[in-house]
Amino acid sequence: MYDVIIAGGGPSGSIAAERAAKSGLDVLVLERSRYPRDKPCGGGLSQKALDVIGGIDKELIERELFCARIFTSDYQSFTGILDDRIAVTTTRRNLDHWLINRAEDSGAVVHDGEAVKDINFGKDYVEVATPKNSYRSRIVIGSDGVNSTVAKKSGIRTRWGDGIGLCREAEVELGKTLIDSCVGSDVAEFYFVETWGYGWVFPKRDHISIGVGGWSKRAPNLKALFGRFVKDVSLQKKIDLESKITQVNSHLIPAGGFDRKIHSDRVLLAGDAAGFVDPFLGEGLYYALKSGEIAAEVAINAVELGDFSERSLHEYVVRCEKEFNYNLKSALKFANFAYDHLGVVLRVLQKDERVFLEYLRTVRGDMTYTDFNRWCLLRSPVTFAKLML
Ligand SMILES: Cc1cc2nc3c(=O)[nH]c(=O)nc-3n(C[C@H](O)[C@H](O)[C@H](O)COP(=O)(O)OP(=O)(O)OC[C@H]3O[C@@H](n4cnc5c(N)ncnc54)[C@H](O)[C@@H]3O)c2cc1C
């Protein structure tokens, strides 16, 4: 019998596996795909996410981002620059492979190409079934992404409610020189040209990630919106991006509603499986890594105490709330406000550089959304009161 079975070896599962194995637990990771595998993602890894990993191989860093450029609906742009690095870009295929190798080096057993299909509970164990075998453990961490089998089979959640979004993304090879001249070497671009979310262009070493994402109820036809977005960016940058796109991927993103159930007897959900994504930016990697880390710590504690009851594992909910979930609730308030008053919010960011730079510091991890919202209210109470009205 294993101490912990981790379903899904993305960032949340890998970090949970690494931390639990390092503490001496017997850990099994069951991953549906074979490594190296792709995951639709912009690959933007914020400084706060890097801090959780504790630094990554230089090779994995494709670009270091110090600037963000915002485009308004008429394609006017303005740029905010920080002295400190806000984020790096990576390719998920490489990052996720590196993270799972690190977990394996720490002692975790990894079975890739083996999907979790079912979960059954015994008196002193959980039994996890795959098409190849079944395995027992004291506790299961469900880090199997937005369509989590663990969430469904454990009865924690059968379907997402309202707080779900959709993204569509493509990687386009342009070469370093062209990227440097038409995007920039250290700048991420955000296009708020609709009210349903935003489009992005992130520079990588020799390709870009281009995509659109937003609340699915606000963006009913994402395929058409993506097509139009690519055309508009092509025109704006005078590059035919359309003909260079070979593959486009769509993927759900859990984007709000942070009072969801995330645990039960012998089960913890982490990362996308728990719905931990910034509802304004769609940043999920930091929250996946942080919740994976906390899940491992709670599992280690539970093994020590020999108590895997829902009541005892409530510690996980408390820790997540304290470390980042209260902040996601503030991010949701900010997102709802910003998308309902997009023109005004963009004007404030454009006219008041301090507000823009403080927001970039929030993304970097120097301040929380709660602090940022409060800071904005204090900066100009009259303006913000008018906006609220
Ligand atoms: C288009 C797009 C762009 C994004 N861009 C960014 C970005 O730039 N920066 C950022 O921070 N976030 C971004 N996100 C969000 C980010 O990708 C996710 O929040 C993050 O991947 C969550 O990590 P995770 O480990 O929880 O889940 P995942 O990365 O989804 O990993 C889950 C793993 O579980 C495996 N799995 C699934 N089902 C099973 C099963 N039944 N049994 C075993 N294994 C299973 C999957 O194969 C996968 O490897 C983006 C999301 C999308 C959709």
Q: Are 330 and 278 in contact (CB under 8 A)?
A: no
Report cis status (omega within 30 of 0) of the bond before 254.
no
Q: What contacts 24+ positions apart, CB below 8 Å, involve 98-101? A: 98/56, 98/57, 98/60, 99/11, 99/14, 99/15, 99/18, 99/53, 100/9, 100/13, 100/14, 100/17, 100/29, 100/31, 100/35
Q: How many domains, in total, are found in the chain?
A: 3
**Whole-number pLDDT of residue 193:** 81
Q: Which residues line ligand 1 (CB under 6 A)?
A: 7-13, 30-33, 39-44, 115-116, 143-145, 149, 167, 169, 211, 251, 253, 271-273, 277, 282-285, 288
Specify whether 349 is located in the same domain as 286. Answer: no
Specify whether 103 is located in the same domain as 76. Answer: no
Residue from 5, 39, 190 whose mutation best tests the ligand 1 pocket (most atoms within 8 A of CB): 39
Q: In this predicted model, what pLDDT tens digit does every residue of 83-119 receive, in sequence order?
A: 999 999 999 999 999 999 999 999 999 999 999 999 9
% of the chain exceeding 90 in pLDDT: 81
Q: Whose CA is nearest to atom 52 of ligand 1?
A: 41
**Whole-number pLDDT of residue 196:** 74
Q: Whose CA is nearest to atom 3 of ligand 1?
A: 41
Q: In this predicted model, what pLDDT tens digit does every residue of 248-261 receive, in sequence order?
A: 999 999 987 778 89
Specify whether 188 is located in the same domain as 316. Answer: no
**Whole-number pLDDT of residue 376:** 86
Q: In this predicted model, what pLDDT tens digit does every residue of 60-78 receive, in sequence order?
A: 999 999 999 999 988 899 9
Specify whether 154 is located in the same domain as 106. Answer: yes
Q: Is residue 378 scored above 90 in pLDDT? A: no
**Whole-number pLDDT of residue 77:** 95
Q: Is residue 284 scored above 80 in pLDDT? A: yes
Q: Are 189 and 71 in contact (CB under 8 A)?
A: yes
Q: In this predicted model, what pLDDT tens digit does every residue of 334-372 receive, in sequence order?
A: 888 888 888 888 988 998 899 999 999 999 999 999 999
What distance in angstroms lies between residue 53's CA and the mean position of ligand 1's atoms? Answer: 16
Scanning the chain, the segments in alpha helix (DSSP H) are 11-22, 47-53, 92-105, 149-153, 176-182, 222-237, 285-305, 310-320, 326-340, 342-351, 353-364, 369-379, 381-388
Specify whether 132 is located in the same domain as 207. Answer: no
Q: Of 281, 315, 330, which closes a domain?
A: 330
Specify whether 269 is located in the same domain as 370. Answer: no
Quickly count: other Cβ atoms within 10 Å of residue 62's Cβ: 20
Q: Whose CA is nearest to atom 18 of ligand 1?
A: 284
**Whole-number pLDDT of residue 387:** 58
Q: What is the CATH number of the domain that holds 271?
A: 3.50.50.60
Specify whether 321 is located in the same domain as 336. Answer: no
What distance in angstroms lies between residue 38's CA and the mean position of ligand 1's atoms? Answer: 10
Task: For residues 9-24, give the mean pLDDT.
Answer: 98
Q: Of 211, 237, 254, which closes a domain?
A: 254
Quickly count: other Cβ atoms within 10 Å of residue 356's Cβ: 21
Q: Whose CA is nearest to atom 15 of ligand 1?
A: 284
What distance in angstroms lies between residue 288's CA and the mean position of ligand 1's atoms? Answer: 8
Q: Of 306, 330, 354, which closes a domain?
A: 330
Q: What is the dihedral of CA 138, 118, 10, 100, to 10 degrees?
A: 60
What distance in angstroms lies between residue 286's CA and the mean position of ligand 1's atoms? Answer: 11
What distance in angstroms lies between residue 210's CA and the mean position of ligand 1's atoms? Answer: 17
Q: What is the CATH number of the domain that holds 209?
A: 3.30.9.10
Q: Whose CA is nearest to atom 35 of ligand 1?
A: 8
pTM for the model stands at: 0.96
**Whole-number pLDDT of residue 109:** 98
Q: Are 30 and 111 in contact (CB under 8 A)?
A: yes
Specify whether 171 is located in the same domain as 237. Answer: yes
The better pLDDT of the pair 382, 308 is held by: 308
Specify whether 110 is located in the same domain as 40. Answer: yes
Specify whether 151 is located in the same domain as 166. Answer: no
Give the atom of ligand 1 at the shortest distance from the alpha carbon of 291: 26
Give the span between the Cα atoms of 332 and 328, in whole angstroms: 6
Q: In this predicted model, what pLDDT tens digit does every residue of 307-334 receive, in sequence order?
A: 999 999 999 999 999 999 999 999 998 8
What distance in angstroms lies between residue 272's CA and the mean position of ligand 1's atoms? Answer: 6
Question: And the tokens for 283?
Answer: 């940043």
Specify whether 75 is located in the same domain as 27. Answer: no
If phi > 0 it is left, if psi is from -120 to 50 it is alpha, else beta; for residue 232 that is: alpha
Residue 47 has phi, psi (to 5 degrees) of: -60, -35
Nearest to 197 by CA among 176, 218, 178: 218
Average pLDDT, the chain: 93
Give the atom of ligand 1 at the shortest distance from the alpha carbon of 286: 11
**Whole-number pLDDT of residue 383:** 67
**Domain limits for position 347:** 331-388
Give the span between the Cα atoms of 4 and 20, in whole angstroms: 8
Specify whether 70 is located in the same domain as 216. Answer: yes
